[in-house]
Amino acid sequence: MYYEEYGSRNNPTIVFLHGANLVQSFFKQYCFSDRYNLIVPHITGYGKEAGTVYTTEKAMSDITELIKSLDRKVMLIGFSLGAQLAVKLVSEHEELFYGVIAVSPWIIKERDFLEKVVKQNDKAFKMMKFKPMIRLSGKMMGLDRKNTDELVEYYLSVQKQTILNSVDNGIELDKMPEFFNVKIPVLAICGEKEYPEVHQSVKKMAENPNCSYEIWEKAAHNIPTAFSEKFNKKIDEFLKNTDFS
């Protein structure tokens, strides 16, 4: 599994799991590399892994194998699709992690609404291949030229079935009862402007006494980039309260 790495392995490790279509989801969090070792896998179907169609089974297997190969526990932070995978990972492999931050996890899903979102993504696929639109997205996020060029490359390489599989991915909280027995600290965050189903997801996660949740005012599905200053402070606070021994 291809991954980017920043910072020294002499420091504690944070694994960042990006959102669908956006390998650079956490580029405004790479500043943590001065104190932490950062690992950013390219999730199956995206970035340098776009040649393989996304399936949850393949992504879970690849990420688990990568983390085990580090031969150390890690801190796990995921956004959107990455947050859904993070919840599933900690439910199945709690022993690999010190703690988890899940940003915008959509893990309570009504079938009718899920099918509607799948159809929306199906129709929007052609627009995803329109270079000027991709470049504009990169500019709005504050990406530099190099990262914008990579954004274009990655968007153009994503396969349609990956997009559809990422939405209808089978990651649902009622299929992960083990999550409610997780003992390590978990923080679930979403924006007030996100789907109600995402609000329901973070609230339901907090039924685990070791999980807390926050719904941020004015935020949408854009917390790591548009609210990076507040988010970075929240990460820092969470890390300071994490026992890395």
Q: What is the mean pLDDT of the chain?
A: 96
Predicted model pTM? 0.96
Binning pLDDT at 50, 70 and 90, where does residue 100 land? Answer: very high
Please give the CATH topology (third level) of the domain spanning 3-109+170-240: Rossmann fold (3.40.50)
Indicate whether 54 pLDDT > 90.
yes
pLDDT at 159: 96
pLDDT at 191: 98
The dihedrals phi and psi of 215, each to the nearest 5 degrees, come to: -115, 115
Q: Between these two residues, 172 and 121, which has the higher pLDDT value? A: 172
Indicate whether 245 pLDDT > 80.
no
166-211: pLDDT as tens digits: 999 999 999 999 999 999 999 999 999 999 999 999 999 999 999 9
